[in-house]
Structure 1
């Protein structure tokens, strides 16, 4: 017969709770006690049976996380924040990439439901509420990530993207730009729609300012480069004097395309603002002004809400946490000497 946690506790002369802490949260136990418990484990040949423990609990020790685009460093940072927080409670994070595709998103939700995960964190492609309701009925809590909601069926963690869009466009206006274009899509992504709405609010406040919307199929460097090439080919008086990209990947593509051939200079001819403030923003040929989101904090806070809901059950009062974005100004929006003197 295999050894139990109680046998290990007796051999080490500690409580069952202490053994559990050594197995799951060793940082909460003194190094001397950890050594004692591990010595007892070695002597008794104890093997932790996670599978049996998960079956008794009715759910696994994993959290499912579905992001829109794993190639976007913003979501990589969100995942890292979630992973670090989950590890503090002995949980692991299973990462799924929907690639902004509803069928792939549904497939991951099916997989996580079959795995009886501890809970699901999701940045949804569209309106996945009915599918998430089904998870809730199965006792699997869900938290919306990077998606604000007032729906009391779900907790959520997000950034105020309308405020972020306003910050970006207001900054461009303050540097003297008046022909602004917003680049990004699809618009059924809530983040894109909110950032565009914020920019529209800012432009509406300034006389003679205009906002053009240039949609893209996705939020990638390649999509940004395609738009940048088209903008570069326009006549000078038909070009926008500023571009607000829906994320930093699109902004990087815009910057690459505009910098080719030397026909257009950034920021003198066209200023560029991105969104997310990924690490690459500082390393660009022209360092990129961007709207910063606390990406790792979004991930760790989402896990906090998930664990509280899992503990609280049906009586849990769901929470909606909205962080405020911050504008980080760099060379890509520096006013030209002509504008600065106006």
Structure 2
């Protein structure tokens, strides 16, 4: 067992309360007493319990990050950026995963609140932010990540997903595609809704172009493979000639589903494919996938900066919106001419 604070007090000939003051509020203690206590600490090799110290101070040095789906490398990169920014202030990031479940999201936020974290960074599933407002009322600031909202009282950082959806669909339309499928879900997720809205607006501006929405239960590789297998027949009948997937995990799964089975289709010959996020696996796919890039690590860094801003001042919360960028690869080459 380690050396206790009682042993330090006994060696220095002072009370436990005096040792605590030396560690936490040295300005309240005489200089000669501070020297005696530090001499005892050095002699005994005492290491302060930082967790207990943080609880006494009423705040930990940790920041809670609730990711929508930690299986998605997008959120891993966001967390990496948040960790880098937090380290500059000698803080740490605690990562939790909602797994696209509102119940798990609530449980994670409650856990962080019990730990008295410095703040919570969260990509919320629901449009109802009342629970987050309650957390904020109890003294823990909240920053929305990868998500805009009509409630401007929360600082937020996101990419313009409507513009991203427009970028993806316009690229497919300019390549001669006219029968698009949007694959994504659950459709209660704001980011997915916005990406579809942008794509639908681009399609509506082109004569004889159509878009079909195919909702998935999750933004996962498995769901993409399932949908890709179902799309093979639609592509074979000429009902679909392009797919815009709401994220790259779905896009990779859709590609595997389209290329598998006894009746595979050609990408991009029979059907073009575009994803979203531009994770590293998109470029490494069997057919490298065109994707809408988000500045993933910068989103995490910015979220921490916004958290510190709201802690240090009473100014209006900021809302940072980055512009997406289309990264073109071979999966979305123009449609073959007759």
TM (norm. structure 2) is 0.85
Q: For each residue in 1:235-254, what CA deviation from the matched residue of structure 2 results, as whole angstroms up to 9, or x when unmatched? A: 63343100000000110011
CA distance in 2, matches of 1:117, 1:297: 22
Q: Which residue of 1 aligns with 2:327?
A: 328
Partner-residue secondary structure (3-state), 1:207: coil
Please identify, of 147-156 and 116-125, the stretch whose mean Cα deviation from structure 2 is larger: 147-156
The structure with the larger Rg is 2
Does the 8 A contact of 2:251 with 2:273 survive in 1? Answer: yes
Q: Which residue of 1 aligns with 2:3?
A: none
Q: Which residue of 2 aligns with 1:81?
A: 81
Does the 8 A contact of 2:268 with 2:331 survive in 1? Answer: yes
Q: What is the root-mean-square deviation in Å for CA atoms of aligned residues?
A: 2.2
Q: Which residue of 2 aligns with 1:306?
A: 307
Does the 8 A contact of 2:235 with 2:241 survive in 1? Answer: no
Q: What aligned pairs does 1:156-235 form with structure 2 within 5 A after superposition?
A: 156-234=156-234
CA distance in 2, matches of 1:209, 1:235: 16
CA distance in 1, matches of 2:328, 2:204: 22
Does the 8 A contact of 1:226 with 1:257 survive in 2? Answer: yes
After TM superposition, where is structure 1 displaced by more than 3 Å over at least 4 residues in a row?
1-6, 41-46
Q: For each residue in 1:198-252, what CA deviation from the matched residue of structure 2 results, as whole angstroms up to 9, or x when unmatched? A: 0011001111111111111111111111111111123633431000000001100
Unaligned runs of 5+ in 1: 9-15, 17-40
Q: For each residue in 1:16-48, what CA deviation from the matched residue of structure 2 results, as whole angstroms up to 9, or x when unmatched? A: 9xxxxxxxxxxxxxxxxxxxxxxxx96784634
- Please say if 1:248 is aligned against 2:248: yes
CA distance in 2, matches of 1:95, 1:128: 22
Q: What aligned pairs does 1:33-72 form with structure 2 within 5 A after superposition?
A: 45=45, 47-72=47-72
Please identify, of 258-267 and 135-144, the stretch whose mean Cα deviation from structure 2 is larger: 258-267
CA distance in 2, matches of 1:300, 1:178: 39
- Please say if 1:151 is aligned against 2:155: no
TM (norm. structure 1) is 0.84
Unaligned runs of 5+ in 2: 1-7, 10-18, 27-33, 35-40
Q: Which residue of 2 aligns with 1:285?
A: 286
CA distance in 1, matches of 2:42, 2:336: 72
Aligned-pair distance for 1:50?
2.0
Q: Give the paired residue count.
A: 307
CA distance in 1, matches of 2:56, 2:226: 54
CA distance in 1, matches of 2:309, 2:53: 20
Does the 8 A contact of 1:149 with 1:320 survive in 2? Answer: no
Does the 8 A contact of 1:155 with 1:319 survive in 2? Answer: yes
CA distance in 2, matches of 1:316, 1:199: 36
Aligned-pair distance for 1:292?
0.2
Please identify, of 120-129 and 181-190, the stretch whose mean Cα deviation from structure 2 is larger: 120-129
CA distance in 1, matches of 2:230, 2:295: 33
Q: Which residue of 2 aligns with 1:319?
A: 318
